[in-house]
Amino acid sequence: MIEINLAQRVVVVTGASGTIGSGIAKRFEEAGAQVVMHHHRGTPPTPSGNSMTVQADLTSTKGPAQVIEAALARYGRVDAVINNAAIQPLAGLLDMTDEQWDSMIDTNVTACHRMSQAFAHHIVGAKSEGSIVNIASIEGIAPVAGHGHYGVSKAALITHTKVAALEFGAFGIRVNSVSPGLIARTDIDKEWPEGVARWMEKAPLGRLGTPRDVADACVFLCSDMARWITGTNLVVDGGVSARPTW
């Protein structure tokens, strides 16, 4: 196992109270980073070492900048941001309300844009270097009926990743996205047996993903091993999207 050492790095993880976000936060701690564990209504993991938690509604205009400010107040630097927080409700296009559409775009796209912007302002001002990882989804590439606004939001995030990589590269900021496939959570096989069964039929590696599968990709992308990687979308789905679509 290759060990990546991120000692002295400060990493903001949004949505650290969620299934994947808590795994990402703990994995960065394991790599030696000081982690700013953002949460909204839920409870993030208990920070170890010199990590901290910060609460914010990222859909409020100032929420993302406040998270960066809280990190700077504590550590004086931020080296990486993982834009992981998101919502994933179901709704068909025909009957979708404006509120459902707006809430999806506000949370999954606009909040990530503002967070990346606030982080980039810090890096440019500090003449430092940094890394952004946006957690997208394979649904941003291959959308699912009944989940269209989510797929649109993740497609937008993949494109935002590329544009930010183009614009921020000159300032020493790398920007990448990670697109997970279906990630296991407690009782998913009881709550959604047909979804799990469908996934297993198509999965070359024969299992669902884990938060750690996603977290390892994030740690790699924030490390010096990924120093020449920017503007890419790393699919972490056990090979499911390699299948022919016809």
Ligand X SMILES: NC(=O)c1ccc[n+]([C@@H]2O[C@H](COP(=O)([O-])OP(=O)(O)OC[C@H]3O[C@@H](n4cnc5c(N)ncnc54)[C@H](OP(=O)(O)O)[C@@H]3O)[C@@H](O)[C@H]2O)c1
Residues that bind ligand X (CB under 6 A): 15, 17-21, 39-42, 57-59, 84-88, 107, 135, 137, 180, 182-183
Which tokens hold the place of 8?
Answer: 């002295």
Which tokens hold the place of 164?
Answer: 């930010």
Residue 199 Cβ vs ligand X, minimum distance, rounded to whole Å: 10
Residue 117 Cβ vs ligand X, minimum distance, rounded to whole Å: 16
Q: Is 150 marked active-site?
A: yes
| Percentage helix, strand, coil for the chain under 3-state DSSP, each rounded to 5 | 45, 15, 40
* Dihedral Cα 190, 193, 195, 201, nearest 10 deg: 130
Question: What one-character-per-residue DSSP string does 29-47 give?
Answer: HHTT-EEEEEESSS-PPPP
Q: Which of 35, 59, 147, 150 is catalytic?
A: 150
Cβ distance to ligand X smaller for residue 103 or 128: 103
Residue 127 Cβ vs ligand X, minimum distance, rounded to whole Å: 30
Based on the number of CB atoms within 10 Å of its own CB, is 9 exposed (0-12), middle (13-18) or buried (19 or more)?
A: buried
Cβ distance to ligand X smaller for residue 39 or 122: 39
Cβ distance to ligand X smaller for residue 51 or 84: 84
CB closest to ligand X, residue no? 18
Determine the longest span between alpha carbons in the chain, in angstroms: 53
Residue 173 Cβ vs ligand X, minimum distance, rounded to whole Å: 20
Cβ distance to ligand X smaller for residue 128 or 210: 210
Residues taking part in catalysis: 150
